[in-house]
Structure 1
């Protein structure tokens, strides 16, 4: 199992200056590596026996730059620019690897047939991290972490180091309130997930816009709406930034306040999600939820409320924490979860404004969101699994009829 913990760093003035220099040099290295890749495409996109209607390059045909070719070119880079010799070799190689992976995502489509955006040049201040791909196991001693070619940096160990885990990578991240280090830990042990659950250990959840979620046990909680409540502060800071001259010290200080404001709102939301997810994981062994198309919903008139609720982040936290705890999460197809009756299965059409479920056939009367949560629970334990993994199992609710509620998953 692989996990990651983030700790705050307290570098001295010299170390902070070295971090800034490395980020600036790596930004230029990233831009140069990106330019080599796309310049080759521009020079060789036309066949040898014809010219392009847009443009035709007369540059000589050269070998296509790839990861290994650009890795060898680092030797010439260090000779021409001696300041790059002061950067650790793993950090430089990781910079080239980032370009390689980003270009692969741009050229090749993902499983859904979509491509990522074209690589852009990084402007000044747009590079915020660099990575050591290998770290010594004894790099942390007391309240100090040893970073190659930088030295011992003070670290705030606000959480204990997990026992039995080995340090794999270390990523230095520049945030609005200082520097952080993200340590990746690996353990050979894999959590054991039991497939036999007690009836009271199963639950289905339905995400909402007014309530953060509704469970099949009729438990709920209001969404704090941190982003919406902080909208006036954000508006005032935006005006303050754009009224000041670009490049001035006062504009820079205002941008820092603007960044810290956004960081605070994001942390408030994440903290709320963790505190909401933990009681679910403590109480239940199997959690079912809808496989929501959050990107599609975010293009509707409910976009601000959906993004403020943070559905994707909350469900990701529940799934990953369940994996660490040896429990199971199941995502079901959302067809039928809202409209069907959880008691008899009859389809009862509802609108977005109609939040009450009333079945004319069996007489069931309850909140519509609770009815949807019960349907999610039924589909999770009685549906046909079409994709399963250690962290999340996907169930097709459209193929699941009303089945035995407390049957064990297979």
Structure 2
């Protein structure tokens, strides 16, 4: 169950000034976005998505540096308000009504801003070997490869263990050295999974993972060592219990075809493990295969909680 809390705040004079400045910059972003989409439609007959307007923000920040003082997702939320207003307008037109076109906001007519870092934020997570995880928003989390880092040291202490005669103090000492290396690797994995799970829960209200069968994957001897070196199950477990106490939700989805399916048009594109880019011959979508999978995981996760339609693909 997701919880919402409402608090009354009493900002200082400087805080009030900063909040008013944020409102003004959000209002500017709203008007600029509405003007861009209006011009694109009137001059070119082109419908612009909210994701395309998100991509305009870096250029606008160069032209108007004060926008850098506002959190990026707060500015994106202003653009999403434009998107919602236009969708409502066209829906009413289609229903036979005669609604007014969304208006530009003057001073005093933009009175709220949002930090959408968690409430309502959604993400699909594709775990892998190239990157530890790829998120449906395109972010990647590097694979630390703790076992690989310690492999040389582990081989050294295991050689000492194999050479030490059984029942001798030297063998006991060598055994403790081997155990310490394994413990160090396990602690690093556990700490890393804790940090990543906290990062996800702090940012997102719904987190979708694939329901992977790690034991079956370990039967692939070519990948078994690499799969054992990552903490996929640990990540899901830690994220799940953190989410339960934070009012977030973790959902597990069927992993079949998440890498093959095009996140834009839905056709299956066959790939080998060495194919790192998804190239769709049907709609032309080309992006990292793990990012494509993460978008599909998010879509399936939303469907599993009863949301049937979502703009999951940002292209």
Do both proteins adopt the same fold according to a TM-score greater than 0.5, normalized to the shorter chain? yes
Match of 1:281 in 2: 201
Instruction: Please state how far the C-alpha of 1:200 moved relative to its aligned partner.
Output: 5.6
Task: Give CA deviations for 1:288-323 in whole Å, capped at 9, x if unaligned.
Answer: 011111101111020000010121112211112112
Pick from 280, 296, 308 the counterpart of residue 359 of structure 1.
280
3-state DSSP of counterpart to 2:207: strand
- 1:380 counterpart = 2:285: no
Q: How does 1:133-148 map to 2 (within 5 A)?
A: none
1:123 matched to which residue of 2? none
* Structure 1 stretches of at least 4 aligned residues deviating more than 4 Å after TM superposition: 197-200
Matched, 1:404 2:312: no
1:369 aligns with 2:281: no
Distance 1:384 1:347, change over 3 A: farther
The within-5 A match list for 1:254-403 is 254-300=174-220, 301-383=222-304, 403=308
1:251 aligns with 2:156: no
8 Å contact 1:322–1:329 — kept in the other structure?
Answer: yes
| CA distance in 1 between partners of 2:118 and 2:176 (Å) | 51
Deviation, 1:326, is 2.2
Structure exhibiting the larger radius of gyration computed from Cα positions: 1
Alpha-carbon deviation of 1:336?
2.4
Quick check: 1:381–1:406 contact (8 Å CA) kept in 2?
no
Residues 243 and 252 (structure 1), Cα distance of their counterparts in 2 relative to 1, 3 Å cut? same
User: Over aligned residue pairs, what C-alpha RMSD do you find?
Assistant: 2.2
| Partner SS for 2:284 | coil
Cα gap change, 1:365/1:200 in structure 2, threshold over 3 Å: closer, same or farther?
farther
Which of 121, 127, 132 is matched with 1:207 structurally?
127
- Structure 1 segment 100-119 matched on structure 2, within 5 A: none
- The question of whether the paired residues in 1 share the 8 Å contact of 2:121 and 2:206 is answered with yes
Distance 1:200 1:346 in 2: 29
> Match of 2:27?
none
Relative to the length of structure 2, the TM-score reads 0.58
**Mapping 1:87-126, distance limit 5 Å:** none
Once the 2 structures are TM-superposed, how far is the Cα of residue 324 of structure 1 from its aligned partner? Answer: 2.3
Cα offset for 1:363?
2.0
Q: Partner of 2:126: helix, strand, or coil?
A: strand
Alignment of 1:76-225 (within 5 A): 201-225=121-145
3-state SS in 1 of match to 2:229: helix
Aligned to 1:205, what secondary structure does the other structure show? Answer: strand
Change (3 A) 1:199 1:376: farther
Equivalent residue number for residue 73 of structure 2: none
Distance in 2 (CA, whole Å) between partners of 1:406 and 1:202 is 11
Secondary structure in structure 2 of the residue aligned to 1:357: strand
Distance 2:253 2:287 in 1: 22
Segments of structure 1 that go 5 or more residues without pairing to the other structure are: 1-196, 386-399
Return the alpha-carbon distance in structure 2 between the equivalents of residues 219 and 198 of structure 1.
16
Report the alpha carbon displacement of residue 255 of structure 1 after superposing the two structures with TM.
1.4
Contact kept in structure 2, 1:211 and 1:223, CA below 8 Å: yes
More helix by share: 2
Per chain length, whose mean CA-contact separation is higher, i.e. which structure has more relative contact order (CA < 8 Å, sep 6+)?
Answer: 2
Q: Which has the higher strand share?
A: 1
CA deviations 1:124-177 (Å, max 9, x no partner) are xxxxxxxxxxxxxxxxxxxxxxxxxxxxxxxxxxxxxxxxxxxxxxxxxxxxxx
Taking the aligned partners of 1:285 and 1:329, their CA distance within structure 2 comes to 9
Deviation at 1:406, TM superposition (A): 6.8
Unaligned runs of 5+ in 2: 1-116
